Amino acid sequence: MVLTSVLLATALLQQQKPVFNQPQHAHYSIPVGWHDELERSSNWGPLNMENKAQVIAPPGTLLLTLGHVPANWPYTYQWSGVTQDANVDLATYPVLMAKANYVFGYAHMDIDVLDGRGQVEQTLRSSTLNAPGLSSVDLGASLKPGQYHLRLRLIVGGQNEGCAAIYDWVRFVKRSDVDFLTNNPDWPYVRMDGGMDEGWR
């Protein structure tokens, strides 16, 4: 319990957004096929497992924490997370990216590819973070171009004494925008295909 409180306090202190200076691309808006800027934690539900993550939602972020495991926990580490479904055109937006502002333990995404009956056909995983940064996976490299119904899972994991991660945003983007977001991870301008700019958060 003590470690969990320390993790919460540390994560909340470190998750404050940096002051962002607009570069010369100030009017560039990232087109996205699907995204969540994490303004509403209610969009994400708990994973169907006994070890559920505690969810705290400071404005524009999602903080996931796990405390000390029960005495009879059978594994040498722990994990959990939250989930949400997404319908995405992977022919145009094949790269899934997520930004983590804070990681104590590890963070990554699991992606279930669902068939027409909602059954899992395939599961893919993004790169794993052990520190703040961007986790990503090129789904188009493993799947045929087309429209997909996907189940996204934001994962936090780590030592049995406790772990935490703060997610900032989740976006499906074009390959041509990956380098830009990698170099400008705090870039706030995004727009859905055919939509209006969403502006600063």
Q: How far is it, in rounded angstroms, from Cα 194 to Cα 191?
A: 8
Residue 196 is assigned to a structural domain of this protein: no
| pLDDT at res. 59 | 85
Residue 166 is assigned to a structural domain of this protein: yes
Is residue 3 pLDDT above 70, yes or no? no
CB contact at 8 A, 41 and 57: yes
Residue 197 is assigned to a structural domain of this protein: no
The DSSP secondary structure of 78-122, one letter per residue, reads EEEEEEEEEEEETTT--EEEEEEEEEESEEEEEEEEE-TTS-EEE
| pLDDT at res. 71 | 82
What does pLDDT average to over the chain?
88
Residue 199 is assigned to a structural domain of this protein: no
Residue 12 is assigned to a structural domain of this protein: yes
Q: How far is it, in rounded angstroms, from Cα 171 to Cα 184?
A: 14
What percentage of residues in the chain have a pLDDT greater than 90?
75
pLDDT tens digit sequence for 20-33: 444 455 568 999 99
Is residue 17 pLDDT above 60, yes or no? no
Domain with 156 in it: what CATH number? 2.60.120
Average pLDDT over residues 149-171: 97
Strands of the chain, DSSP E: 30-36, 45-46, 54-56, 62-66, 78-89, 95-104, 106-114, 120-125, 133-138, 147-158, 163-173, 190-192
The tally of domains found in the chain comes to 1
| pLDDT at res. 193 | 72
pLDDT tens digit sequence for 47-68: 998 889 999 998 899 999 999 9
Residue 23 is assigned to a structural domain of this protein: no
Residue 119 is assigned to a structural domain of this protein: yes
| Torsion on CA atoms 103, 10, 36, 194, rounded to nearest 10 | -100
Residue 200 is assigned to a structural domain of this protein: no
Q: How far is it, in rounded angstroms, from Cα 65 to Cα 163?
A: 6
pLDDT tens digit sequence for 70-85: 888 899 999 999 999 9
Q: Which domain holds residue 111?
A: 2-16+31-189
